[in-house]
Amino acid sequence: RPLDINIELPDEQSAQKLKIGISFATWWALNVVFNIYNKKVLNAFPYPWLTSTLSLACGSLMMLVSWASRIAEAPKTDLDFWKTLFPVAVAHTIGHVAATVSMSKVAVSFTHIIKSGEPAFSVLVSRFFLGETFPLPVYLSLLPIIGGCALAAVTELNFNMIGFMGAMISNLAFVFRNIFSKKGMKGKSVSGMNYYACLSMMSLLILTPFAIAVEGPKMWAAGWENAVSQIGPNFVWWVVAQSVFYHLYNQVSYMSLDQISPLTFSIGNTMKRISVIVASIIIFHTPVQPVNALGAAIAILGTFLYSQAKM
């Protein structure tokens, strides 16, 4: 009887590694561009509920056009699929809008330093809500994550409570999104790209009424006029850029999730945050005190120790 094992040849392995490396680099680059344009837009037009909605609307439109023109094949979904997607979409919407509200109030780097604490939320939620236990080193790795984030928060020059809480809520919501989507993806044949497309569409439907209730067309119209008078007619392209790049970085990250483990993904995500923190500090000339940078470095080191401990 022939042995039913799949041996990867060294050539295949290095091709696979190269492919993952390229998707990671693309993901980080797209994410840096999104964060820069998102902050530029929010500085001139501080309406995060609308900009979050536009990001989802743009992604949904791009995917509908790709399906209609057959650039991408539309997924075959049933009612069950949309039902299991619903809690994922609620969590995605909350996490997305909370992060954007946070970035409208504080430096991009600060939001991402707090967001680098996501693994700590993941462990605490799994422990207290799902009753999962972890080996001691995993718990120990939370100390530098929590301590580093706390140090960075108390020494942040432009600290703002809404900015801080927004990033914390985003962390919590994204942990639940990951838990729900793990359940939802089981046994489903929808690709990562299409899964994210459906997620955007459902989140858009959920977010739109809330965005209208919280901000609304009156505020948007006045704010838009003000932004265009400051920046000029090119302002609209900043909004387009933040929306398109939001969709693209998420699409690439969901596509790479198809090929890698959640753990490799979370390491990639932490490295993404380092690129965003460094790029945004340079571009926006964010003032950083040495002790503040130390807090960020300790938190990020903690997330690497966490991934080692999980391995």
Q: Under the rule (CB under 6 A), what is the footprint of ligand 3PG? A: 95-96, 99-100, 115, 174
Q: Give the nearer residue to ligand 3PG in terms of CB position, either 228 or 281.
A: 281
Find the shortest distance in angstroms from Cβ 131 to ligand 3PG: 26
User: Of 23 and 100, which CB lies nearer to ligand 3PG in the complex structure?
Assistant: 100
Q: How far is the CB of 60 from ligand 3PG (least distance, A)?
A: 15
Please return the burial class of 297, using the count of CB atoms within 10 Å of its CB with bins 0-12, 13-18 and 19+.
Answer: middle
What gap in Å lies between CA 283 and CA 80, rounded to an integer? Answer: 45
CA dihedral (74, 99, 46, 248) positive or negative: negative
Nearest residue (CB) to ligand 3PG, 141 versus 170: 170
Closer to ligand 3PG at the Cβ: 219 or 271? 271
Task: Report how far residue 162's alpha carbon sits from residue 147's, in angstroms, rounded to the nearest whole number.
Answer: 20
**Least CB distance from residue 100 to ligand 3PG, whole Å?**
5
Question: Taking the complex as a whole, how short is the minimal distance between the CB of residue 251 and ligand 3PG, in angstroms?
Answer: 12
Residues 124 and 128: their CA atoms lie apart, in Å, by 6
For residue 269, what are its two tokens? 């995500």
- Least gap, CB of 253 to ligand 3PG (angstroms): 7
Distances (CA, A) of 1 to 5, 21, 23: 12, 38, 39
Closest by Cα among 244, 254, 253, 210 to 54:
244
Pick between residue 30 and residue 123 the one whose CB is nearest to ligand 3PG.
Answer: 30
